[in-house]
Homo-oligomer: A and B are copies of this chain.
Amino acid sequence: MSLTNASPADAARAAKSASHVLATLSAEARNDALTAIHSGLTAARDEILAANARDLELARQAAADGKLSASLVSRLDLGKPGKWEDMLKGILDVRDLEDPVGRVTLRTKLDDGLELERVTCPIGVLLIIFEARPEVIANIAALAVKSGNAAILKGGKESTESFVAISTVISNALSQTQVPNDAIQLVTTRESIPQLLALDRDIDLVIPRGSNELVRYIKENTKIPVLGHADGLCSIYLTASADPKLAADVVVDAKTSYPAACNSVETLLVQESALTTVFPAVAAALAAKNVELRCDAPSKAAVMSALATSESSIPNVVVQDATDKDYDTEFLSLTLAVKTVPDVSAAIAHINAHGSHHTEAILTADKEEAERFMSAVDASGAYWNASTRFADGMRYGFGTEVGISTNKIHSRGPVGLEGLMIYKYKIRGQGHVSAIYGEGEGKRRFKHERLAL
Query: Footprint of B on A, CB under 8 Å?
Result: 20, 24, 81-82, 85-86, 89, 108, 110, 114, 116, 123-124, 204-205, 219-220, 223, 225, 227, 243, 245-247, 249-250, 252-254, 257, 352, 370, 374-376, 378-387, 389-392, 395-397, 407-414, 422-435, 437-440, 443, 446, 448
Contact = CB atoms under 8 A, between A and B. Distances in A.
A438 B247 CA distance: 22
Chain A facing B: main interface SS? mixed
Given A253-B435, A387-B429, A387-B434, 16 more contacts: A89-B439, A110-B396, A114-B390, A220-B223, A225-B408, A227-B409, A243-B431, A247-B431, A380-B424, A381-B424, A382-B424, A390-B429, A390-B432, A391-B425, A395-B446, A414-B425
B205 A430 contact: no
Nearest to A222: B223
B438 A82 contact: yes
Contact of A429 (B81, B384, B409, B438): B384
Contact of A427 (B108, B384, B431, B434): B384
Contacts of A20: 352, 376, 378
Contacts of A432: 250, 385-387, 390
Cβ-closest 8 pairs across A and B: A386-B429, A246-B431, A253-B433, A389-B434, A397-B448, A410-B410, A257-B435, A204-B408
Contact of A425 (B116, B225, B381, B437): B381
Nearest to A447: B397
A400 to B, nearest CB: 13
Given A386-B427, A397-B108, A225 B223 contact: no
A379 B24 contact: no
Nearest to A349: B20
A363 to B, nearest CB: 8
A109 to B, nearest CB: 9
A85 B439 CA distance: 7
Contact of A431 (B85, B250, B424, B425): B250
A422 B378 CA distance: 11
Given A381-B424, A427-B384, A408 B85 contact: no
Contacts of A252: 433
27 contacts: A20-B352, A20-B376, A24-B375, A85-B439, A85-B440, A116-B390, A116-B397, A124-B408, A205-B408, A225-B407, A249-B431, A249-B433, A250-B433, A253-B433, A257-B434, A380-B425, A381-B424, A381-B425, A382-B425, A383-B428, A385-B431, A385-B432, A386-B427, A386-B431, A390-B427, A409-B422, A413-B425
